[in-house]
Amino acid sequence: MSRLEDAFARKKAQGRAAFVPYITAGDPDLPATKLFVETLVAAGADVVELGVPFSDPMADGPVNQRSAERALKTRITLRKVLEFVRELRASGVTVPIVLFTYFNPVFAFGCEAFAREAARAGVDGVLALDLPPEEGVEYRRLLRAAGIDTVFLAAPTTSDARLKLIDEAASGFVYYVSRTGVTGVQSSLSGDLEPELRRLRTQLTKPVAVGFGISDPTQARTVAKLSDGVVVGSALVRLIEEHPKPADAAARIRDFATALVAGMNT
């Protein structure tokens, strides 16, 4: 069992959902990102998603796009993100880390080299947002041989047949996009979320983490009752944007993450 699979299994045994926060690596810089990761872990993060900045983040809304732009201005690359993960491990961070990326940086790096270096760094899983499972056979083989889980997306528009394909291709967990569109804070959850997650349960054997738009403890509590994991990204990234001083942003992140975890555990 991988470290990522173990994290979800332990939460399931406790009758709870995993808290999976997302932040962009290098926004506003890597020392600040380290502070934010440590803050999130102390607040109860079970898995941390690190975004790899990319110049054309087509699945991301304005908040995360601006975050990627800020990180790119400081010359953050995939190689630097891997070095950063290695530093996190050396400093004592043990929670599973999933890289949230687009496939182009991985392809440019070289899939074989990426799998090798990601494993050495201590990466537990990779979600390449724009890589469909049909096109990722060799990529999956290389990552799995290196002991890294491959996470894939499912959406409200995903057919039952395709859900089965995703389930076969994925390891670690399946990331369910709770609504069509891009990432971003939403005032309410989709009214179809509960029946859709019931449908997913009939097709998927892997844990299901739900994201895209979850922005407060009430929403997190609702999703936690229906899924194996709750992914919160844009709401955290917005706090970083609104508080340029890392110490101020970390304090807000601590309070917000603590409230989310408390809501999920209610």
The hierarchical CATH code for the domain 3-265 is 3.20.20.70
Amino acid, res. 66: R
46, 49, 117, 167: the catalytic one is 49
Beta carbons within 8 Å of 41's beta carbon, 6+ residues apart: 48, 93, 95
The pLDDT value recorded for residue 266 is 81
CA-to-CA distance for 68 and 266, rounded, in angstroms?
A: 34
CA-to-CA distance for 159 and 49, rounded, in angstroms?
A: 26
The pLDDT value recorded for residue 188 is 53
The pLDDT value recorded for residue 179 is 59
Q: Which of 79, 174, 160 is nearest to 123 (CA)?
A: 79
5, 27, 46, 60: the catalytic one is 60
CA-to-CA distance for 86 and 212, rounded, in angstroms?
A: 28
Residue 247 CB-density burial (10 A; 0-12 exposed, 13-18 middle, 19+ buried): exposed
Q: What Rg value do the Cα atoms of the chain yield, rounded? A: 17
The domain locations on the chain are 3-265
Beta bridge partner(s), residue 18: 229
Residue 87 known to be catalytic: no
- ∠ CA 120-229-102 to the nearest 5 degrees? 50
Question: Tell me, what DSSP letter sits at residue 154?
Answer: E
The pLDDT value recorded for residue 181 is 46
Query: What is the arithmetic mean of pLDDT over 140-155?
Result: 97
Contact (Cβ atoms closer than 8 angstroms) between residue 179 and residue 153? no
Residue 124 known to be catalytic: no
Amino acid, res. 174: V
CA-to-CA distance for 262 and 229, rounded, in angstroms?
A: 14
Q: Which of 204, 205, 227, 203 is nearest to 214 (CA)?
A: 227
Query: What is the arithmetic mean of pLDDT over 241-253?
Result: 97
160-217 per-position pLDDT tens digit:
999 999 999 999 999 999 755 444 445 456 668 889 998 998 999 999 999 987 889 9
pTM of the model: 0.94
Contact (Cβ atoms closer than 8 angstroms) between residue 229 and residue 210? yes
